[in-house]
Amino acid sequence: MQRGFESGSAGNWPFRLAVFIGVCWAAAAGAADTPATDTPWQKPLDVEFTSRLDGSAQRYVLLLPKTLEAGRPVDLVVALHGHGSDRWQFVENTRDECRAVRDAAARYSMLFVSPDYRAKTSWMGPKAEADVLQILDEIRQKYPVRYMFACGGSMGASSALTLAALHPEQVDGVVALNGTANHVEYQGFQDAIAQSFGGTKAEIPEEYRRRSAELNAERLTMPLAATVGGRDQSVPPESVRRLFGKLHEQGRAVRLIDRPEGGHSTNYADTTAAMDFVVGTIRNSGARRSIVLPGYCNTPDAMAVLPGGEIILSAANFTDPTSPGVLLKIAPNDEVSLFCRLPVHPETGRVYPMGVRQAPSGDLYVADCQGLEKPPRISRLFRIRVAGGKPASVEVVARGLSMANGVAIRDDHVYVTDSATGPTADGAVASAVYRFRLDERDAQVAPGGGDPHLVATLKTLSKDIPVGADGIDFDERGNLYVANCGDAIIERIVLDQAGKVVRQEPLTAPGRMKSADGLFYDRATQRIYVADILANAILAVDLGGRVHAVVQNGDCDGTGGLLDGPSEVVVRGRDLIAANFDRIFPGCVNTKTNAPHTLAVIRDRNRP
């Protein structure tokens, strides 16, 4: 990984990347707009959309490469125009910075988006921010976008840095060409900035701080490159020099190209060098990859991370139930092997392993979800005795569950969610959490809510996804978190020493997710990672209930480290690993179940 302040190329750029490019020069500084005669693009699409923020009509230009292949991972360039220009600048302008961006996008067959982002003098205020995030959401819904980088110059560089500081989960890298990193001290274009931000520095000082990358440097965890000119009077270079100096001291992947005699522009070679550094850093980091599963695994669901870095993966195989459900083992080097086969149910001849967790003894507890079979209430909870790292025997802990799903372990007990126990009096779906001793055997769960193993009940109002309690995990204080899948919320349940409910409350507000499937509590960051299977996204929830998207993809086949209907995500080292369930449900992004069946591995820059 290259770090430093020297100029020059950082190597090749062999795969397509999603680059978020923002450039802000005065319109008068650009060369004459000249359309290309031999273009690698399809005909430009001038797209109008309705802002979710205020209902206004906004626009962006979309260029699709002629080499675009449906369903294949593709990366995105979002080119932000300069001060005083509009969405067509990066599509048609021939100045060096615009040409370098277009040429890179064409060379690597990227999507190219150039938005108005609210105004000709935007400076990435709240309305522009909302528009750009909405555009990214819509593009990701339509195309399997892999990476997104922020890069730009002057207003656009400043805007790219602002967006990265506000939404680091959205940005994989930044290239800032002749921008400012500090709106508190910057004196240029103050009327335009005040209009964009919603007030002057004196009126809303905190807003100026929030939108200053230098003052939020700890959030810039992605690779960054910048260019500055020592004679630049339009946007002085000092704030970017300070920011990059600080990041360099912290060992971040940064490169500053500092031209002491340069002014308010960046030439073709330096623009390309800055982009190559960021792209090359991401390329060499193994930021995203897929683990391709064998043919006998067609519906991967849940995972248990073992102390040595191995992962036990359950494959329920709902997509093709003629292949019995199994457990697989993923080695630290991603090698996949069969861990064990499980006993089929005597009444159905099938087995559907879902939630799986490891007990302190090393034994595994696995939910067998027979909820799609007849007769009802025949799901089971297994214990797999493990000796020397290998399965020794399988025992039944509990029978009589309706839709056994998620599993968690704490204080000599195993907890299992039952995702649909029956209708409620008002027509909703009831679900439950049950608790069993780790040494319990052949417990028969009684219907009707009176079973002594019952810990808590949930109610789900959704008619499209009538699935309640799903993913489940504990934090270090013993608080229990349960995903209400259909209603798309996380519930927090406080238990006493006897496992009785002291308090049960929603942790997240409605509307922040489309669905809530598997969840995993990460003690290192005190975040709950949630698989939003309908939105094709991984979400992070802090203990205050705030939700943000870590990664989201459009409809795709799950190759290239992309999500394909994730059912659960776990943490291994600095990687997030998601099981691509790849099934079709009402309202989901995924439109087709297809091979290969995969796990998505995503490097989380924000993890310690």
Please name the residues in contact with 177: beta carbons below 8 A apart, sequence gap of 6 or more: 23, 97, 151, 152, 153, 154, 156, 157, 226, 227, 266, 271, 274
Query: What are the beta bridge partners of residue 353?
Result: 368
Residue 102, Cβ density class (10 Å: 0-12 exposed, 13-18 middle, ≥19 buried): buried
CA–centroid distance for 238 within its chain: 34
DSSP-derived letter for residue 4 is B
Question: Rounded to whole angstroms, how far apart are CA atoms 123 and 368?
Answer: 54
Mean pLDDT calculated for residue range 579-599: 92
Question: Would the CA dihedral through 452, 456, 460, 465 be positive or negative?
Answer: negative
Three-state secondary structure call for residue 510: coil
Mean pLDDT calculated for residue range 156-182: 91
> Residues of 17-53 as b/e, b for ≥16 C-beta within 10 angstroms?
bbbbbbbbbbeebbeeeeeeeeebbeebeebeeeeee
Question: Rounded to whole angstroms, how far apart are CA atoms 333 and 336?
Answer: 9
pLDDT digits 0-9 by tens, 83-95: 888 999 889 998 9
Q: Which residue has the higher pLDDT, 15 or 186?
A: 186
Helices (H), 225-314: 238-249, 268-285
What's the confidence (pLDDT) of residue 145? 81
Mean pLDDT calculated for residue range 414-432: 95
Lowest mean pLDDT among 68-77, 335-344, 561-570: 68-77
Quick count: other Cβ atoms within 10 Å of Cβ 298?
A: 23
pLDDT for residue 199 is more than 70 = yes
Question: Rounded to whole angstroms, how far apart are CA atoms 304 and 382?
Answer: 14
Q: Which helix (H) or strand (E) holds 102?
A: helix 96-107
pLDDT for residue 478 is more than 70 = yes
Please give the C-alpha separations between residue 513 and each of 255, 518, 556, in angstroms, as whole numbers: 37, 13, 20
Question: Would the CA dihedral through 477, 479, 481, 487 be positive or negative?
Answer: negative
Question: Rounded to whole angstroms, how far apart are CA atoms 230 and 264?
Answer: 9
Please give the C-alpha separations between residue 520 and each of 305, 459, 529, 554, 572, in angstroms, as whole numbers: 11, 21, 5, 23, 11
CB 604 within 8 A of CB 575: yes
Please give the C-alpha separations between residue 125 and each of 165, 168, 175, 216, 586, in angstroms, as whole numbers: 13, 16, 19, 16, 36
pLDDT digits 0-9 by tens, 105-137: 887 788 999 999 998 998 999 999 999 999 998
DSSP-derived letter for residue 388 is T
pLDDT digits 0-9 by tens, 12-70: 222 233 344 444 454 434 433 344 457 899 999 999 999 999 999 999 999 999 999 88
What's the confidence (pLDDT) of residue 12? 28
pLDDT for residue 1 is more than 70 = no
What's the confidence (pLDDT) of residue 436? 98
pLDDT digits 0-9 by tens, 327-368: 999 999 999 999 999 999 999 999 999 999 999 999 999 999
Please give the C-alpha separations between residue 541 and each of 253, 256, 492, 519, 530, in angstroms, as whole numbers: 27, 34, 12, 10, 8
Mean pLDDT calculated for residue range 372-392: 94
DSSP-derived letter for residue 189 is T
Q: How confident is the model at residue 539 (pLDDT cuts 50, 70, 90)?
A: very high
Q: How confident is the model at residue 161 (pLDDT cuts 50, 70, 90)?
A: very high
Q: What radius of gyration do the chain's Cα atoms show?
A: 26
pLDDT digits 0-9 by tens, 226-272: 999 999 999 999 999 999 999 988 888 899 999 999 999 999 999 88
Domains recognised in the chain with CATH numbers? 19-285 (3.40.50.1820), 298-521 (2.120.10.30)
Q: How confident is the model at residue 607 (pLDDT cuts 50, 70, 90)?
A: low
pLDDT for residue 378 is more than 50 = yes
Q: Among 47, 168, 175, 180, which Cα is nearest to 116's?
A: 47
Mean pLDDT calculated for residue range 522-549: 94
Q: Which helix (H) or strand (E) holds 529?
A: strand 527-532
What's the confidence (pLDDT) of residue 560? 83
What share of the chain has pLDDT > 90, as a percent?
70
What's the confidence (pLDDT) of residue 25? 57
What share of the chain has pLDDT > 70, as a percent?
93
Lowest mean pLDDT among 149-158, 237-246, 392-401: 149-158
Q: Is the peptide bond before 375 cis (omega within 30 degrees of 0)?
A: yes
Tokens encoding 569: 């995500």
Please name the residues in contact with 498: beta carbons below 8 A apart, sequence gap of 6 or more: none
Average pLDDT, the chain: 89
Phi, psi of 195 (to 5 degrees): -65, -40
The label of the residue with tokens 């680091």 reads 168
